[in-house]
């Protein structure tokens, strides 16, 4: 294998450390395994028509320039997100005969492909022209089979994996001291974009109910990007002194936040896999999440607790249960360890290398 060219419309930078961090983590894991990797990525999360046009033009120039220089050395391209990233892989296959693998992460199939008929057709073409398709969760795989007529044999269900050398257990007292958090409070934490689809509104409503029904001191920490200003305005009345809003943080600091938390909550409306839930499990933090997408297979055997999506009352009941149950009884160690073994980054990397090898076979 000569070189892998990874193409992604999301990739972190010093200014935006959490933007597509899972793609960078996989790139670094591939490099550690001895594979030479080039990247053609967009690091700008800006939204709006003008911003999107500008950033995608810059990204396109970057991808095509690298491809032209390196085309004789690239064995396979790997597109993260079917559209728009997969369009570049499709183009490079047509221009230079370079095979490609594409990873569907969820939003590309569940939201982007439904925007209009043109994007839906492009999505189908990208999937069908690929050498192999990776789905980060089983629900996503089934959607591609049924909605885009992709053969089951062409799809591998495989998450991005978790680096257990980074995401590991720590001392909760020490973590809270580092972050300046009170030791006596029960802390619920959310990590992700602060948008409607992540269930933030339901989380805030549920937290309000929890505060009314318990005598314990509780805090809700929300860590994530707040680019949707109209949504922020909508949820502002639900905020109070016990809700802490934190901008995206570096991965090393995120680990400390997980370690400092009693429970991680991910009440998404849709979720291809839910990698942050896996990262929380790796730090020994109990998880409550919606019964949607890849979260179901991740947590259904006891590694976490599932609640009905878009249901603040159900979420509040589970949060109250977590408050009244000791961590040892609330957290199933055996199920969590099984999940972590399956999704260990090292195991995922070996599977990915096998997929690349199959893609470049004549």
291 and 225 co-located in one domain: yes
275 and 335 co-located in one domain: yes
- In this structure, is residue 239 part of a structural domain? yes
Residue 106 · residue 272 · CB < 8 Å: yes
148 and 182 co-located in one domain: no
Strand stretches in 3-96, DSSP E: 4-8, 37-41, 76-80
pLDDT given at position 47: 84
Residue 79 · residue 103 · CB < 8 Å: yes
208 and 261 co-located in one domain: yes
| Structural tokens at position 94 | 């047509």
210 and 62 co-located in one domain: no
- In this structure, is residue 167 part of a structural domain? no
* Cβ atoms within 10 Å, residue 327: 13
Q: What is the CATH number of the domain that holds 124?
A: 3.40.50.2000
Threshold 0.85, pTM exceeds: yes
Q: Using alpha carbons only, give the angle 226, 227, 228 rounded to the nearest 5 degrees.
A: 95
pLDDT given at position 226: 93
183 and 130 co-located in one domain: no
CA dist., res. 299 & res. 238, Å (int): 29
- In this structure, is residue 294 part of a structural domain? yes
* Cβ atoms within 10 Å, residue 328: 7
In the chain, the number of structural domains is 2
193 and 294 co-located in one domain: yes
Task: Phi first, then psi: give them for residue 255, nearest 5 degrees.
Answer: -55, -45
Torsion angle defined by CA atoms of residues 191, 290, 345 and 81, in that order, rounded to the nearest 10 degrees: -80
* Cβ atoms within 10 Å, residue 317: 17
pLDDT given at position 327: 58
- In this structure, is residue 257 part of a structural domain? yes
Whole-number Cα distances in Å, 136 to 109, 133, 140, 160, 306? 12, 10, 7, 7, 19
pLDDT given at position 332: 85
Which range of residues forms the domain containing residue 225?
A: 172-342
* Cβ atoms within 10 Å, residue 73: 11
* Cβ atoms within 10 Å, residue 2: 12
221 and 312 co-located in one domain: yes
CA dist., res. 362 & res. 357, Å (int): 10
| Structural tokens at position 356 | 């690349």
Q: Which residues contact 42 (CB under 8 A, 6 or more apart)?
A: 8, 9, 10, 11, 55, 56, 58, 59
CA dist., res. 167 & res. 281, Å (int): 9
Which position has the token pair 């990525």?
A: 41
At 222-240, the pLDDT tens digits run 999 998 999 999 999 999 9
Q: Which residues contact 100 (CB under 8 A, 6 or more apart)?
A: 76, 77, 78, 79, 86, 89, 90, 92, 93, 129, 130, 131, 359
pLDDT given at position 326: 64
141 and 205 co-located in one domain: no
Which position has the token pair 């934190």?
A: 246
- In this structure, is residue 166 part of a structural domain? no
pLDDT given at position 2: 83
pLDDT given at position 126: 98
190 and 311 co-located in one domain: yes
Q: Which residues contact 214 (CB under 8 A, 6 or more apart)?
A: 320, 323
pLDDT mean for each 10 residues of the chain (362 residues): 93 93 97 96 92 94 96 96 98 97 96 95 98 96 97 97 97 98 97 97 98 96 94 96 96 97 97 96 96 94 96 97 76 91 96 97 82
Q: Which residues contact 83 (CB under 8 A, 6 or more apart)?
A: 108, 112, 113, 119, 122, 123, 126
142 and 82 co-located in one domain: yes
Residue 30 · residue 352 · CB < 8 Å: yes
Which position has the token pair 């894991």?
A: 29
pLDDT given at position 259: 98
CA dist., res. 76 & res. 72, Å (int): 11
How far from the centroid of its chain's Cα atoms is residue 178's Cα? 26
* 3-state SS assignment for residue 83: coil
225 and 321 co-located in one domain: yes
């Amino acid at each position: 294998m000569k070189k892998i060219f990874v193409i992604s419309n999301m990739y972190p930078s010093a200014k935006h450390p959490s933007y597509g961090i899972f793609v960078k983590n996989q790139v670094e894991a591939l490099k550690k395994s001895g594979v030479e990797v080039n990247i053609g990525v967009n690091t700008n999360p800006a939204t709006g028509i003008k911003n999107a046009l500008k950033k995608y033009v810059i990204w396109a120039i970057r991808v095509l320039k690298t491809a032209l220089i390196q085309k004789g050395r690239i064995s396979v391209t790997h597109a993260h997100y079917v559209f728009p990233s997969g369009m570049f892989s499709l183009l490079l296959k047509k221009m230079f005969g370079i095979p490609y693998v594409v990873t569907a992460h969820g939003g590309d199939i569940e939201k982007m492909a439904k925007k209009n008929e043109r994007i839906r057709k492009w999505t189908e073409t990208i999937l069908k022209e690929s050498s192999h398709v990776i789905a980060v969760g089983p629900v996503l795989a089934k959607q591609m089979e049924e909605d885009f007529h992709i053969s089951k044999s062409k799809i591998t269900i495989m998450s991005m994996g978790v680096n257990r050398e980074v995401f590991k257990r720590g001392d909760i007292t020490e973590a809270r001291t580092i972050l300046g958090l009170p030791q006596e409070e029960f802390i619920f934490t959310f990590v992700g974009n602060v948008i409607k689809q992540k269930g933030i509104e339901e989380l805030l409503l549920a937290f309000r109910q929890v505060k009314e029904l318990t005598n314990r001191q509780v805090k809700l920490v929300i860590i994530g990007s707040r680019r949707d200003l109209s949504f922020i305005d909508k949820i502002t009345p639900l905020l109070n002194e016990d809700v802490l809003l934190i901008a995206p943080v570096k991965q090393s600091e995120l680990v400390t936040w997980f370690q400092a938390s009693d429970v991680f909550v991910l009440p998404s409306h849709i979720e291809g896999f839910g990698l942050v839930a896996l990262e929380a499990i790796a730090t020994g933090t109990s998880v409550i999440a919606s019964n949607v997408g890849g979260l179901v297979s991740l947590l259904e055997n006891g590694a976490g607790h599932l609640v009905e999506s878009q249901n603040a009352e159900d979420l509040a009941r589970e949060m109250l249960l977590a408050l009244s149950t000791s961590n040892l009884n609330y957290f199933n160690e055996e199920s969590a360890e099984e999940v972590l073994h399956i999704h260990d980054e090292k195991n995922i990397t070996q599977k990915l290398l096998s997929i690349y090898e199959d893609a470049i076979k004549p």
